[in-house]
Amino acid sequence: MTIKVGDTLPEMKLMTAGPDGPKEESTASLFGGKKVVLFAVPGAFTPTCSAKHLPGFIQRVQDFTAKGVDSIVCMAVNDPFVMGAWAKDQGVDGKLVMLADGSAALTKAMGLELDLTARGLGVRSQRFALVVDDKKVTHLSIEAPGDFDVSRAESVLELL
């Protein structure tokens, strides 16, 4: 079942990629008591994700902060080392949290997985964006396959 507005994010531990390497974080620490924008991409270093999705959020961090967002989290079904390398490549410089959902645990718990096994990519995340206020989902935008519209930074900013 897909997570929906009003639902609480599942409790679990994942890995973040930071300047000091991988670090275990809980969803409670990442989303509890904060207003957070979480956006997910099918994979680090993939064309749309690298050329448009992640850069859009990096460029608009101050706009999100001005609208009361405490944190922006970029999630992909990749390991924390890949997420760290992607963050370095994209110049994230600590502006966003790079969340590695390596086994798709959170993605599956939210019902937002995308099976790309036939393409040799395994289980990935759908492209989506959600707004979380103290672990409760207040907005969710899921892209249709191949689209890039409702989860882009500009679209999320319009909702805040």
What are 122-132's pLDDT values in tens digits?
A: 688 999 999 99
Q: Which of 14, 36, 41, 49 is catalytic?
A: 49
CA distances from 82 to 27, 52, 78, 102 (A): 20, 18, 6, 10
| Active site (annotated) includes residue 49 | yes
Does residue 120 surpass a pLDDT of 70? no
Is residue 35 within 8 Å of 160, Cβ to Cβ? no
What are 18-52's pLDDT values in tens digits?
A: 878 899 999 999 999 999 999 999 989 988 989 99
List, in order of start, the domains of the chain with CATH numbers.
13-159 (3.40.30.10)
Provide the mean pLDDT of the chain.
94
